[in-house]
Structure 1
């Protein structure tokens, strides 16, 4: 299933895109900026052939481009989410509440006092600014580069140019830990499925696992690059194993450093020992990484030609390759939720991953369900094989 496929365009926006997140099984959020800065929410649907996207909310962030964002649950009862957005050296949080808006439409009927109207509703999102806190202090130009809300919604982790990992209680944003984690800026971070660990990736070429509750170093990802080449971790993600929050792997992408052109790699590490188990090589550098919420699939995006590739997580078998899905480098990837809640949106495919780029395009890529052989068909095939073997043996006099 590794042959090249054509990209499926969801929609285009009028600003370069830098990040993507999931708000619900049928809603995604994208952020970016340039001439216009902000984030936009899209509702996904499926028309029987393709997945479609309709904009349901656009929130402008003034002078601040949305270079990094993360999503989390605010209140389960009223279907509210929280979006945390990097704004230079600060992290600004927003409440995103799903609500209904009434729409009056004339139905053509008339009364003595004029035309009669029918009242319909449509789904919209109301965005309310919450709290802002400074998260980076690298003088003279502090800058937050990444933020992530823990799976249980109790913590927020931020990283930036000063190399400090800062862990905040969420959503009130009181600082719980401040860790001098790296010698250079932090490019990426992620929470483990059980909320206990945080993984940071830095331009000092290291990837480190931290105890989220204590703010202490737990382990460093270890691997021996081939030859004398130097490598830098670019992105890293935790992934559940067999649906367990306590049992997980770590996936990362690493690019070569310097003028030479050795391959880049997708790597899988053991979650307990932090030692590398398997890797897959690529001819060009990688820019984006995503893991499905059930831990079954991994996706990568290329740095130069916009290619998307999807793999089986447990053996890194390549399932799908979409060449030039974007006209330039991939800035973000996000899998749609697995399970029945998003089956229809995914077109009942095994998985679907959304990709974005500074080319203003939002694309989606599906992996079809594996065909399952019925027991009856399997029985007839086995019976046929046995009959053929019996006939061959009789012919040979065995």
Structure 2
């Protein structure tokens, strides 16, 4: 049975959010924007540091980088040759950024005396009480903890979509950090040497159809992150469900199998092509080796976002119309969390807090924590409690009831 739990709002920014990436176990990057129109809505990235105060997750803004008139629709982060790179889809181009990570004193960062060289950090607003506490902490502490700071520097930019209405829709970097793949509305998958961004294969796989019209079977060209230098090893046709409805595959993600080293599961979400009647999305589990469908579950509306935790235990799904969030157990697709109307509009991105990423993990009482973003400008977190736990108020009521019964019994017995 699904457990209902939604910790709620972490941060609200001043532009619509389209893509979400975790940089470390504690840092998350969100990006988006309002586009090139003169609406006054910014375009760019924001990085937040997450923590848990014992009761709930909280977020603090670390830095902001604006991208001028270019909205950021997709992005991917990878460390290669001891450098961290960020690739971002901006209209018809893929923009490469170098992410410099530095360790600075926490007091120095809080006072705002630290600045990245590009000068685009925006300080978080503090209350008077926070300033007083910071001043006291600085005076009473001789050694301050170190904090991560980030600097985003633009590098190369290459055109990755050459259609009449060019728009890069997806970018992905191979697990080895040697190759990158891009796809756009011209329906071609292109493979690039990374980070040099030199074109290796132009149209390695052809994706027939458009967002509005597609054939009964779509080509999925992808490879589990097994450490090889080849991003694509084979192209397979994924079969349609036997119910006679044609589905459009929206997202594809891989996750490792916990008890089998080096083996992966593949997950997809799909929506029906028909625009009339009730829209029922599919969450599907596949075997990458033979392309066989292992499990499939129906969701009562169209789906828009998909994420798999880095250890492969959980799958997160976001919906199109209600802005709801679901979490499933990976191996059997049993739903364990349902957050109704987590956002006011459709979910554009999901990411689990890593359990084996870079830096110390966040300590909390949750078995898993899923981050979600939307065009409603909000970053939210949804925590999955451990099975068998109960809310604090229920425990308090039980304790009060037991004490009352004990007192009544003692009074009856004259003790």
Give TM-score, length-normalised by structure 1.
0.79
Structure 2 residue aligned with 1:99: 102
* Alpha-carbon offset, residue 371 of structure 1: 5.5
Q: Residues 255 and 68 from structure 1, CA distance in 2 versus in 1: closer, same or farther, beyond 3 angstroms?
A: same
* Candidates 280, 285, 308, aligned match of 1:291: 308
Residue 83 (structure 1) aligned with residue 83 (structure 2): no
**Shift of residue 133, structure 1, vs aligned partner:** 1.1
Cα distance in 2 between the residues matched to 1:75 and 1:289: 29
Partner of 1:305: 322
**Aligned pair 1:240/2:256, yes or no?**
yes
Cα distance, 1:209–1:107 mapped onto 2, change above 3 Å: closer
**Cα offset for 1:98?**
1.4
Aligned residues: 346
Is 1:213 the equivalent of 2:219?
A: no
1:49 maps onto 2:55 in alignment: yes
- Deviation for aligned residue 1:272: 1.1
Structure 2 counterpart of 1:146, from 170, 191, 198? 170
1:288–1:333: 8 Å Cα contact kept in structure 2?
A: yes
**C-alpha distance in structure 2 between counterparts of 1:122 and 1:240, whole Å:** 31
C-alpha contact (below 8 Å) 2:222/2:233 kept by paired residues: yes
**C-alpha separation between the residues in 2 aligned to 1:233 and 1:267?**
10
Task: State which of 382, 405, 409 in structure 2 corresponds to 1:365.
Answer: 382
Q: Identify the match of residue 334 of structure 1 among 329, 351, 365.
A: 351
- What corresponds to 1:194 in structure 2? none
Q: CA deviation at 1:357?
A: 0.2
1:65 positional shift: 0.4
1:131 partnered with 2:156: yes
Deviation at 1:260, TM superposition (A): 2.8
Shift of 1:314: 0.5
* Residue 49 (structure 1) shift: 1.1
Contact 1:229 1:262 in 2 (8 A): no
- Residues 223-278 of structure 1 show CA distances to partners (whole Å, capped at 9, x for unaligned) of 3341x322111111111112656311111111111213252111111121111111
SS at match of 2:376: coil
Q: Aligned partners of 1:278, 1:216: CA distance in 2, in Å? A: 24
Deviation at 1:87, TM superposition (A): 1.4
User: 1:39 corresponds to which residue?
Assistant: 45
Distance 2:10 2:387 in 1: 24
Q: CA deviation at 1:343?
A: 7.2
Matches within 5 A, 1:129-278: 129-138=154-163, 140-179=164-203, 181-184=205-208, 204=215, 206-210=218-222, 213=230, 217-226=234-243, 228-242=244-258, 244=260, 246-258=262-274, 259-278=276-295
* Residues 225 and 287 of structure 1: CA distance in aligned 2, closer, same or farther (over 3 Å): farther
1:2: which partner in 2? Answer: 2
Rounded Cα–Cα distance in structure 1 between residues aligned with 2:231 and 2:11: 43
Give the Cα–Cα distance (whole angstroms) in 2 for the partners of residues 367 and 64 of structure 1: 36
**What does residue range 58-69 of structure 1 map to in structure 2 within 5 Å?**
58-69=64-75
Query: Which ranges of 4 or more aligned residues in structure 1 deviate by more than 6 Å?
Result: 104-108, 118-121, 340-343
Structural mapping, 1:108-119, within 5 Å: none
CA distance in structure 2 between the partners assigned to 1:17 and 1:346 by the alignment: 27
- Distance (Å, rounded) in 1 between the aligned partners of 2:238 and 2:257: 18
1-structure distance, mates of 2:165, 2:261: 38
Q: 1:33 Cα shift?
A: 0.1
Greater length-normalized contact order (CA 8 Å, ≥ 6 residues apart): 2
